Amino acid sequence: MKRALRTVVAAGTVAALVAGCSLSGNTGNDPQAPATVTLVTHDSWLAPQEVLDAFERQSGIKISVLKQGDAGALTNKLVLTKANPIGDVAYGIDSTFASRALAESVFEQYTSPEADRGPQRYSVDPGHRLSAVDLGDVCVNIDARYFADKGIPEPKSFADLTDAKYKDLMVAESPATSSPGLAFLLGTVAQFGEQGWQGYWTQLKANGLKTVSGWEEAYTKEFSGSSGKGPRPIVVSYASSPAAEIGDDGKPRTKALLDTCYRQVEYAGVLAGGKQVEKARKVVDFLLSQQFQVTVASNMYVYPARQGVELPQGWAQAAPLPQQPKTLEPAKIQAGREQWIAQWRTLLEG
């Protein structure tokens, strides 16, 4: 996932996390000679160094982070290197790509003792090879000030986006090159069905939809509601993005259209064939722990998968979690993903 903005957990919060860092099942090693576990992840990984250092002191495990692009690029790299894994544990495979990683046997079975605190709600594998770490929702976002200034009603639904009032106002990411782009495509498949989604995209194209390769370009360069102040007031981003666009009055300048959201869950798992299996399991435990989970919203702008984790102030207003996001079964995604992307290319790029 790409986030709109990342902030650092308040110093007092981090201090409390460090003081309380204790994980069940970790035995600890000599802190003078920590074992290094390589965590393969996406480019949006961000965690407070103080919390990572506390985990290292407590467990004797040093986490070395290896970033591999977005969720799609990460999945591809793990599949291509599964015979000789480039790390020990992976985080950031999301629900749009999880079925591919599971089909390719990238991960080995492991059920964390922390999983029953909430992550099992998002299980996609009866073999428990993946554990849910966080979740977010890809949604259409709008620049509310643009519509107020122009006297144009704000769009609210998928159908509204094809209305002539919004011609040449929307930008979206390509599902062939972008994780949120793929999630938005899957959302339209869920909304309109396998027989109807292509007609919907044909209407979007006729209404002046612009497509770009990735989230950075769409949100920070094309979207008028971001710091880039681009020309288009409608963008595919995240339900949490408005929390990054708080004005001087304490209110978000942008809105997520909660009827257009597709649920993304990010997972972690122990890489099959890795050299540090037992220690990799401890890292998965850490990612599901209270100590790490309380950092994910402030640092990576996603919701924690663990239940009972406090969210940053203002999220209830600026970044409410959609109550009925679109979803598709992993098996259906696996069966249709490549065909849908190819059909999308024909429609939008042909």
Separation between Cα atoms, residue 221 and residue 227, nearest integer Å: 8
Domain count, the chain: 2
Residues 282 and 244 in one domain: no
Residue 20 inside a domain? The answer is no
Residues 69 and 131 in one domain: yes
Residue 101 inside a domain? The answer is yes
Residue 271 inside a domain? The answer is yes
Residues 277 and 216 in one domain: no
Residues 131 and 185 in one domain: no
Q: Distances in Å between the alpha carbon of 317 and those of 201, 235, 239, 295, 309?
A: 31, 20, 11, 19, 17
pLDDT for the residue numbered 245 = 87
Q: Distances in Å between the alpha carbon of 156 and those of 210, 221, 281, 285?
A: 19, 23, 43, 40
pLDDT for the residue numbered 29 = 45
Residues 71 and 181 in one domain: no
Residues 103 and 155 in one domain: no
Helix (H) or strand (E) holding 37: strand 35-41
Residues 106 and 235 in one domain: no
Separation between Cα atoms, residue 125 and residue 114, nearest integer Å: 17
Residues 190 and 293 in one domain: no
Residues 276 and 308 in one domain: yes
Residue 156 inside a domain? The answer is yes
pLDDT for the residue numbered 244 = 84
pLDDT digits (tens, 9 = 90+) for 222-259: 999 988 889 999 999 999 999 888 877 778 899 999 99
Separation between Cα atoms, residue 312 and residue 298, nearest integer Å: 7
Residue 6 inside a domain? The answer is no
Residues 272 and 337 in one domain: no
Residue 42 inside a domain? The answer is yes
Residue 268, domain extent: 35-136+264-318
> What residues of the chain score a pLDDT lower than 70?
1-33, 119
Say if CB 284 and CB 131 are below 8 A apart: yes
Residue 10 inside a domain? The answer is no
- CATH code, domain carrying 250: 3.40.190.10
pLDDT for the residue numbered 5 = 41
Residue 22 inside a domain? The answer is no
Residues 49 and 113 in one domain: yes
Residues 185 and 273 in one domain: no
